[in-house]
Amino acid sequence: MTVYSINKGIGWASSGVEYAQAYRGQVFRKLGVKAKFIFTDWISYENIAHLTRNLGFKDREIIWLYTFFTDFEVRAGSFTLDDLEKVLPPILERKPLNKAVRYIFANDFWATAYLKDLSSGIVDRVEYVSGANLVRKDYYSYGHYCSEFYAPESNRAKLYQRRFYNEDGTAVYDEIIDGDQEIFKFKDDILYSKHELLIKMLRELNFSKKDIILIDRAEDQGQEILENRGKARVGTIVHADHFSEAETNDATILWNNYYEYEFEHADQIDFYITATDLQKELMEEQFLKYKGKKPQIYTIPVGSLKELKKPDFASRQPFSLVTASRLASEKHLDWAIRAVAKAKKALPELSLDIYGSGSERTMLEEVIKEVGAEDYVHLKGHQQMDDIYQHYQAYLTCSTSEGFGLTLMEAVGSGLAMVGFDVRYGNPTFIADGENGLLLPYDRLATVPEHVNEMSRAIVKLFSSDLPATSEKSYEIASKYRDKQVAKLWKKAIESELHRD
């Protein structure tokens, strides 16, 4: 029996979906459940094993669509500059660069080897240039698994072909690319789209009635998964709010486009998994009201806690706030900065540290300067947060939608007081108003200054409360999310599905 989780991409600044998968992998290992995590996006900037290892996946658990048809395993890079130099043309000059080395050859031909890091000398990819034109990129893990070929067009390098290899260097298949058109040529087969490539992989996995498929991302691949599931049970993981409230009325509902395919084809989905009881109950009501159906829905938190972090409360930095998330617009971190700047007038020692990376960083830096908060609001970048929360007194979230909120769970697991808006689904799950923090009323039609003022007043009120008592209530809430409790939920769901008719 194998549980397959199907996603699209993964990166260094991954979303909650990838973190949820990483937590799931930990649980399955403890249960002794064989798990495979399938990624279907093309990843060019990094060996996929470095990205998956970064989140705690085991190499043996990863299936990547593009190397699935070769004998290359997903494995950390070990192909070095020394290995590369053995296969390069005669080298006229070698120039060290930042995380790269440039090699100059004869006849205006040169190559740049991009490294995992300078100290290891492990090669991720090599780009070859003839004159001023990029002509080829070679990708490496423990060997050379792919080449890309380019031709000049309108003063730019145009990708027209990828070739994938076995470990011994023999070609397995080619991907021919012409704009949005992709053709995959095998020795005995031609596939006319990436959809057909995905179908080929799904069929070769030969799913049995003892297997379970979990769909983490269905966009552009949901139909292929459902039509090529074999005899496996199929479930959908609902990671976010599943419908648009503004476009829903008594007669119709607008599903979130990320889940629309699975929701509209509920007869082909064996079960759904939500992260909170609040979302499960709402989905059940909506399916019955709008579709006349009663689907099987399990509540299983997308994360779990190995332990509760319990330092002496006196060791925490006084008047310290922390928040952690992608630096994305829906997190409204600019509201948090402005709210802290206002609250600072009543709480002179107040500080806020923001952890995470993302596209909004430059904008947030500008907001910090605008409100003059450089001395007490800091962007800390992406870090492993396990042992960081416990140094703070309170956690602040201005997000207006959290399907679960892994950082909320981690914060209560470190005993932080909590403050956030009363929005679906994570905030009311982890914030008990007046007990472990403050849950603020949220009006989506209100102005930004109104939201900021509401949050600012709440911060002042929070730090006027009994924070040690609040901390104990957070630990009480967190206790329901220990590894053992979540593992039991997964075990029950898996056994139920495998024994359902």
Considering the domain architecture, whether residues 340 and 396 belong to the same structural domain is answered as yes
Rounded to whole angstroms, how far apart are CA atoms 240 and 403? 4
Considering the domain architecture, whether residues 179 and 319 belong to the same structural domain is answered as no
Considering the domain architecture, whether residues 359 and 269 belong to the same structural domain is answered as no
Considering the domain architecture, whether residues 350 and 434 belong to the same structural domain is answered as yes
| Structural domain containing residue 175 | 81-194
Considering the domain architecture, whether residues 392 and 251 belong to the same structural domain is answered as no
Check residue 501 and give its pLDDT: 66
Considering the domain architecture, whether residues 334 and 456 belong to the same structural domain is answered as yes
| Cβ atoms < 10 Å from Cβ of 288 | 12
In a domain, 494, yes or no: no
In a domain, 338, yes or no: yes
Considering the domain architecture, whether residues 441 and 366 belong to the same structural domain is answered as yes
| CATH code where residue 188 lies | 3.90.930
β-sheet bridge partners, residue 174: 163, 185
Structure letter (DSSP) for residue 219? T
Rounded to whole angstroms, how far apart are CA atoms 168 and 410? 45
In a domain, 493, yes or no: no
Rounded to whole angstroms, how far apart are CA atoms 138 and 344? 53
In a domain, 20, yes or no: yes
Residue 231's nearest CA partner among 201, 206, 263 is 206
Considering the domain architecture, whether residues 50 and 99 belong to the same structural domain is answered as no
Token readout for 194 is 């990436």
In a domain, 267, yes or no: yes
Considering the domain architecture, whether residues 407 and 471 belong to the same structural domain is answered as yes
In a domain, 108, yes or no: yes
Considering the domain architecture, whether residues 161 and 206 belong to the same structural domain is answered as no
Which residue reads 């950390």 in tokens? Answer: 76
| CATH code where residue 356 lies | 3.40.50.2000
Residue ending a domain, choose from 194, 227, 259: 194
Domain count, the chain: 3
Tens-of-pLDDT digits for all 501 residues of the chain?
A: 999 999 999 988 778 899 899 999 999 999 999 999 999 999 988 899 999 999 999 999 999 999 999 999 999 999 999 999 999 999 999 999 989 999 999 999 999 999 988 888 999 999 999 999 999 999 999 999 999 999 999 889 999 999 999 999 999 999 999 988 999 999 999 999 999 999 999 999 999 999 999 999 999 999 999 999 999 999 999 998 999 988 999 999 999 999 999 999 999 999 999 999 999 999 999 999 999 999 999 999 988 999 999 999 999 999 999 999 989 999 999 999 999 999 999 999 999 999 999 999 999 999 999 999 999 999 999 888 989 999 999 999 999 988 888 899 999 999 999 999 999 999 999 999 999 999 999 998 899 999 999 999 999 999 999 999 999 999 999 999 999 999 999 999 999 999 886
Rounded to whole angstroms, how far apart are CA atoms 160 and 164? 14
Rounded to whole angstroms, how far apart are CA atoms 117 and 472? 43
Rounded to whole angstroms, how far apart are CA atoms 211 and 235? 11
Considering the domain architecture, whether residues 333 and 190 belong to the same structural domain is answered as no
Considering the domain architecture, whether residues 342 and 475 belong to the same structural domain is answered as yes
